[in-house]
Amino acid sequence: MKLRCPICGRTYDEPAQRCSCGEPVEFDLFKGEPYLGKTVWERFWDFWPVEPLLELSLGEGDTPLIKSKIGRELGIRLYLKNETVNPTWSFKDRGTFLAMSYALKAGYKTVGTVSTGNMAASVSAYASRFGLNAKILVSESASEEKLKAISAYGADVIRVLGDYGRLYFESLRLGEKLGIYFINSDNPFRIEGYKGIAFEMAEELSPDYVLIPSSSGGLFRGIAKGFIELRESRLIEELPTLVTVQAEGCSPICKAFEEGKPRIERFEKPDTIAKAITNPYPPSGNAVLKLLRDFNWLCVTVSDGEIVEAQRKLAEDGLFVQPASATGIAALGKLNLPESSKVVSILTGSGLKTLRNSQSGSAAECPLEKLENCVRGQN
């Protein structure tokens, strides 16, 4: 179970979360053949660094790939990888399940995470399922709406006053000291869990392009690693073009990429409705930057107005997603994609988690005695 730093190349034989150079570590490439099996965990058994505890699974993964009518106007074949149907309504459940499998096998009694949204809910739910205690560290600005959803599973939720940017690193320090396994955004097992998205897409489609909303960079790294391992195992011949998509109001990875800088820099004063991908200094940012350049992949930013319009288009396809999930669709107009390209946009999380920011919700009123006229659309 060797870990390697994707930036400096240092290897670790013992479990670690970050390299001494400050960058995230990841498992060496896995190679294998698919098995017959019902779930993605069973079909790709050789590709996981720890045995998935299938008896404790909540049914994460194997999410639908939906043909979208949005692609018609652009002359492409567009598909939506609907991660909103995971148990806690986001892609985070894939990584949480695999990391939780490791934590239980390693003898941890308590797990934790630093998050105010999807990851917090996911770790809380799976900790309860696995019989572990959970410490969820949230920012002082976390809304009561989100806190209720997180605490419903019985986790200890701690609102931390101070610099939220430092909290990620402080949690790892405390975890090591107190014996708490923190499953943060770029935890190595979390990255491994996200590979399943690539495996499932390759089984069904062999996409030409994959659009990935990006914040910390963990999801992008996981999907990239999944496709790379498939190619190394000779299960696919070519890698798709992966596209990192960020909101204009918080785009540290794309900014560094476009400016040709070797490392990301903190994005000052982030401001976007896509809160789920608002990370001014993403912990996997440099690793993503390296992947983009090594494979000649793309990075695109989109405005809040474009995100809202993309949300509306997805609703016309019958899908209600959070703003961050719509960024891939928003990016389509900025990419000059070849005609008939097979394109997949990852829908990362449900709109039910961001009802407060929803653009709709109004209802017309009608007296019962005038109901027929109201239904007919008459005053």
pLDDT in tens, 321-359: 999 999 999 999 999 999 999 999 999 999 887 776 665
Q: What is the mean pLDDT of the chain?
A: 94
Tens of pLDDT, residue by residue over 244-271, are: 999 999 999 999 999 999 999 999 999 9
Query: What is the pLDDT, as a whole number, of residue 358?
Result: 61
Residue 104 and residue 97: Cα distance in Å, rounded? Answer: 11
- pLDDT for position 143: 75
Q: What integer pLDDT is reported at residue 357 of this predicted model?
A: 60
Residue 362 has pLDDT above 80, yes or no: no
Confidence of residue 145 (pLDDT cuts 50, 70, 90): confident
In whole angstroms, what is the distance from residue 215 CA to residue 254 CA?
A: 11
In the prediction, which pLDDT does 199 show? 98
Above 90 in pLDDT, residue 106?
yes
pLDDT of residue 117: 84
Phi and psi based region of residue 54 (left: phi greater than 0; alpha: psi -120 to 50; beta: remaining): alpha
**176-226: pLDDT as tens digits:** 999 999 999 999 999 999 999 999 999 999 999 999 999 999 999 999 999
pLDDT at 352: 83
Q: What pLDDT does 359 receive? A: 57
CB atoms < 10 A from the CB of 304, how many? Answer: 16
Backbone angles phi, psi at 28, to 5 degrees: -60, 165
CA distance 179 to 76: 50
Q: Which of 249, 303, 253, 246 is nearest to 272 (CA)?
A: 249
The pLDDT tens digits of the residues spanning 265-301 come to 999 999 999 988 988 999 999 999 999 999 999 999 9
CATH 3.40.50.1100 fits 65-89+188-354, yes or no: yes
What percentage of the chain has pLDDT greater than the value 90?
85
Q: Is the model's pLDDT at 363 over the cut of 90? A: no
Q: State the average pLDDT over residues 147-161.
A: 90
Q: How far is CA 10 from CA 7, 13, 20, 183, in A?
A: 8, 10, 9, 22
pLDDT value for 378: 66
Which distant-in-sequence residues (6+ apart) come within 8 Å of 242 by Cβ?
209, 210, 212, 220, 223, 224, 227, 291, 295, 297, 298
| Digit-coded pLDDT (tens) for 43-80 | 999 999 999 999 999 999 999 999 999 999 899 999 99
